[in-house]
Amino acid sequence: MPAKTTVLRPTYPQNIDFINKMAIFITKTLDKSNKMLYICTIKNQKSKTMNKAELIDAIASGAKLTKADAAKALDATIEAINKALKKGDRVQLIGFGSFSVTKRSARTGRNPQTGKEIKIPAKKVVKFKAGAELANSVNKGK
C-alpha cells in the first residue's frame, strides 16, 4: 500500500520578523507500515532562486537577443570558465568576481549517524570571491 500524504495548514512561530520570511509546513504522512510520520518543512518565502531558464530570459531581454542566442552565449561562457578552471587558471571578471581552484587537504571527519571517525580525502574545490562592485550593489539593496 503506498504512503498517503496530507498537508496540514501552515503554522508560524511567534517571532514577527521570522513570520515575514518563513513559513513552516507540517506534513502528516503514513510510511509503508502505516506508522504516522510528521514531517516539518520550512520554506523561505522572501528569497527566490533564479534557474538557468530565467537567467537566459534575463540575458535575452537585457542584450536584446533571442532566447536561443542567449542560451548559446551562456553555455559558451560556462564552458570557457569550466575549461580555464580545469587547467588551474583563475578567471577574473572585473567588477563581478573571481573564480579559482584551491586544494582542500585530507582530513578526519565524523559520520553524523554513528559518530565513527572517517577519512575525507583531499580534493580540489572551486571558490568564488565577489568583486567590489558586485558586493557594493548587493549591500545597497538593503
Distance CA 12, CA 14 (A): 7
Element (H, E) at 57: helix 52-63
Phi/psi class of residue 80: alpha, beta or left (left: φ > 0; alpha: ψ in -120 to 50)? alpha
Task: Pick 112 or 10 by higher pLDDT.
Answer: 112
Distance CA 92, CA 99 (A): 6
Instruction: Judge whether residue 115 has pLDDT over 50.
Output: yes
Residues 35-91 have pLDDT tens digits of 655 555 555 555 578 899 999 999 999 999 999 999 999 999 999 999 999 999 999
Q: Which residue ranges form the domains of the chain, and what is each CATH number?
A: 5-44 (no CATH), 89-142 (4.10.520.10)
